[in-house]
Structure 1
Amino acid sequence: MNNRLTTARSVVFQDYQDIPRPVSMIIVEHDPEPSMIVPRHSHPRAQLAYSVKGTFTLHTEEGAWLVPPNRAVWVPGGVEHEMHARGQAVSNRSLYIQPDASPDLPTECCVIEVSPLMRHLIIEAIDIPLLYDEAGRDGRVMRLILDEICGAPKIPLHVPMPRDARLLRICRALLADPSHDGDIEYWAHHGALGRRTLTRLFRDQTGITFTLWRQQVRLMEALRRLSSGTPVTTVAFDLGYESPSAFSAMFRRVMGKTPRHYLGRSDMDLD
């Protein structure tokens, strides 16, 4: 660890892996770019990346997770991952956590709800020294953050990724353009395999049908657009829904809330 980290923070995530404390935090800001990618990497500590502003996607060999504002994604230590964002400013607070900090921490990648308490604790932690007093108030704040992570509800903003190269070609194309209106025959041709092979192999390797996987990708894209201020009506039609009400019904069925209530916005054009 660079000695200057005892008094100043770094913007390099590797500098936070050996700090002799259970939890450390880095603040990351990205200006709007057509396509921003944090290249594939891993680190010994687990990471909780909390989105303050903007929406990004975490990618691993196992799947992709969407992280809207005021939610967070958990990445266990040692898991190779990369982060993508498109056309928007992104601001996040990444907590790096020792693997043995708590036995109740998640063991797999997941997106979690960030409670109002956790949000305020993370804000408070910004001013906590890197080498904080573990037995004092700062240490208690960090332990309470751990408790909040362990008890946080998980959100179904994830799609599993297949291993077959032909299916991966299809999935990556859909992740790049979720609004593509090609039917299953089109995607079978895109992957250079038959329709029956596509449907059978996709279920075998992901545990869900191709149709359900595609619906989940579109939900994730809808959240990304809604988070950036796109009206519900525009999102619904762009993603192929017959009406805004049909889209909102699907959203509520999966997320348990309407788009307006999920994103905490009163200016949306439709529930």
Structure 2
Amino acid sequence: MKWTIAGPTMSCGHDDEHQTLPHPVTAKARNYRGGETPVHSHLRAQLIYAGSGVMRVETEAGSWVVPPVRGVWIPANTAHRVIMLGPVEMRTLYIRPDAAPDLPDSCCLLDVSPLLRALILALLDEPLAYERAGRGGQIAALALAELRFLRIPALHLPMPGEPRLHRLCEELVANPDSRETLETLAEQQATSSRTLARQFQRETGMSFRQWRQQARLVEALGHLANGVPVALVAEKLGYRSASAFTAMFRRTLGMEPRRYFSAETAATSAA
């Protein structure tokens, strides 16, 4: 199924040295005040990481909110776009596919270790066409090795491949405060709630309730990253109270919303 996110799909990197150098790993730094990239792809796999700020990375398969200390792994030739949720210092590793054949073959969120963050910054200090037998080559080799040990956290919003269900999910993402029930949605789809429930489980690996909660959580992270008060975030997402939203957030991510990004920032500063 063709990706339905609006905007032109373009292939980037055919004339970009970050993609065409023979080096197994290259690093790139770019700062944004906000905005988003068009839908595009790269010749190489990439790890997208924010030194500061928060991004949302979208592909046909799903959506990930990326705060500091986390990154998104994107295999080569995967169409994606990046939405900056405020100012972002983007740091990217481009990895030649044959240099990392055992790394994931699908997009996923990764916990970026303090060591890998330091290696990314160190590689950025080297010339783009670094000496492969010198310091740059050693840093790149260690970064590749560290990538293989990174933990994959669970915060991911999978998108179904079935066209009608995909459109339904896009509508729910666009309207996170929707109070539509599985029954009313099934009626709109001219199917039964049991059939729709089975489709959700088969296409996303989640129940409808789990998927909608995850969609709201992904949306919440973007608002919280920009300093929106918890009570207003809860209202935007259709929760009856800030305490109900906070309880859900704590169950899922292990801490209260007001502590989440301060904890991420403290971890980044310590690194």
Which TM-score bucket, shorter chain as reference?
0.7 to 0.9
- Give the total of aligned pairs: 252
* Contact in 1 for aligned 2:161/2:203 (Cα 8 Å): yes
1:212-250 deviation line (CA, Å, top 9, x unaligned): 111001111111111111222322333233443433332
Report what 1:166 is aligned to: 164
User: 2: distance between equivalents of 1:156 and 1:137?
Assistant: 35
* 1:65 aligned partner: 64
- For residue 111 of structure 1, the aligned residue among 109, 112, 130 is 109
Q: Find the counterpart in structure 2 of residue 218 from structure 1.
A: 216
The alpha carbon displacement at 1:122 in A equals 1.8
Aligned partner letter, 1:124: A
- Cα distance per residue 1:168-207 (max 9 Å; x no partner): 1111112223233333344335545443332222222222
In structure 2, distance between residues paired with 1:26 and 1:246 = 41
How far the C-alpha of 1:103 sits from its partner, in A, is 4.8
Shift of 1:111: 0.7
Q: Is the 8 A contact 1:69 1:227 kept in 2?
A: no
Whole-angstrom CA distance in 2 between matches of 1:32 and 1:21: 31
Cα deviations by residue, 1:76-113 (Å, 9 ceiling, x for unpaired)? 11222233345x23331121001232454233211111
Per the alignment, residue 145 of structure 1 pairs with 143
Assess if the C-alpha contact under 8 Å between 2:159 and 2:204 holds in 1. yes
Deviation at 1:260, TM superposition (A): 4.2
The farther-off stretch of 231-240 and 155-164 is 231-240
Query: Is residue 40 of structure 1 aligned with residue 39 of structure 2?
Result: yes
Question: What do the CA deviations read for 1:46-74 (whole angstroms, capped 9, x no partner)?
Answer: 11000233333222232222222332100
Match of 1:258 in 2: 256
Q: Which residue of 2 aligns with 1:21?
A: 23
Structure 1 gaps, min length 5: 1-11
TM-score by length of 1: 0.81
Q: 1:56 maps to which residue?
A: 55
1:81 aligned residue:
80
SS in 1 for 2:91: strand
Q: Please point out which of 244, 247, 250 is paired with 2:245.
A: 247
What is aligned with 1:30? 32
CA distances 1:118-139 after superposition (whole Å, capped 9, x unpaired): 2222222222111112222222
How many angstroms does 1:160 deviate by? 1.7
In percent, how many aligned pairs have the same letter?
A: 45
The one-letter amino acid of 2:227's match is G
Query: 5+ residue gaps in structure 2?
Result: 1-11, 266-271
